[in-house]
Amino acid sequence: MAVQYEVAFSASVRGAGVVAGGPYYCAAGSALNAAICMGQVPAMPPAAPLMVAAARGFATAGQIDPLEHLRAHRVHVFRGTRDSVVRAPAVDALVAFYRALGVAGEALQYVNALPAGHALITADYGNDCEANAAPYISHCTVDGVGYDQAGAILQQVFGALNAPARDPAGELRAFDQAEFGADAARMAGEGYVYVPRSCAGGAACALLIAFHGCAQSARSVGDRFYAHAGFNRWADSNDLIVLYPQVDASLLNPQGCWDWFGYTGPAYATRRGPQLVAVRAMAERLVGRR
């Protein structure tokens, strides 16, 4: 979902951090393509050129922002070598997608050698590194030091940052997502936002939108993602608001995933996609544009 939001609204986004994700519009609106998009079908990896062509078609039709904006983005992509859910062909295709659209050199960081399972990685919280299990947050070490994935993502996108706070002192707020069209978007009733004291006091703050993974909403894992993924510590010391929108499991979405295969309708990957519209409205409220 981070990729979909970034591509659809590339003019107002500076980059993305993608953990175990495939390329934009990979499923082409059909859940039947899900296994391919997760790299699980032998000898049938996602075809990045097809996704590039789809994105160019949407851009030409004015359904997403011009793709030229992506060339100025900074992107962090991560794949654990023990990930049994989203396999290497899917994430490799995402990297190929970015490169084809001009995200190159140091602007595109691909971390793919850590023996991690399917999870967001922290320095000291969650499952053992190789786990492929709920809450899909694991702790890993590199050369004896805990791997801080939140910090790796944020520093790739924003550049050099202040060291993270030891104990976040900001406010974690719940809010009603219905005001932003969550019902039509098949989203959860409640979302969360972390607001550092500096931001609450009027400082000019940047915004991070942290999309949870499948089966990782608050209904599924409690506060483990929005309170313990590591982003709030960095936000506290760097004037950064963190938005944690939420999607719960449903009949059309049994795994509680963001819509990357079309369960909210055919426009799901464009600026008219119900979930993208809702999250965009949340973002604009937080940065004072509505």
Question: What pLDDT score does 289 carry?
Answer: 61
pTM exceeds cut of 0.95:
yes
Question: What pLDDT score does 290 carry?
Answer: 53
Per-residue pLDDT tens listing for the chain (290 residues): 999 999 999 999 999 999 999 999 999 999 999 999 999 999 999 999 999 999 999 999 999 999 999 999 999 999 999 999 999 999 999 999 999 999 999 999 999 999 999 999 999 999 999 999 999 999 999 999 999 999 999 999 999 999 999 999 999 999 999 999 999 999 999 999 999 999 999 999 999 999 999 999 999 999 999 999 999 999 999 999 999 999 999 999 999 999 999 999 999 999 999 999 999 999 999 988 65
Distance between first and last Cα of the chain: 23
Element (H, E) at 236: helix 231-237
Listed by start position, the domains of the chain span 2-286
Pair of tokens at residue 57: 């078609």
**73 neighbors 144 (Cβ within 8 angstroms):** no
Element (H, E) at 276: helix 274-286
In terms of C-beta density within 10 A (0-12 exposed, 13-18 middle, 19 or more buried), how is residue 4 classed?
buried
Angle (CA) 124-234-221 rounded to 5° is 55
- Alpha-carbon distance of 50 to 142, in angstroms, equals 36
The H-assigned helical ranges of the chain are 2-8, 34-37, 48-60, 88-100, 149-158, 197-200, 218-221, 224-228, 231-237, 274-286
- Alpha-carbon distance of 255 to 276, in angstroms, equals 19
Task: State how far Cα 81 lies from the chain centre.
Answer: 19
- Alpha-carbon distance of 102 to 275, in angstroms, equals 27
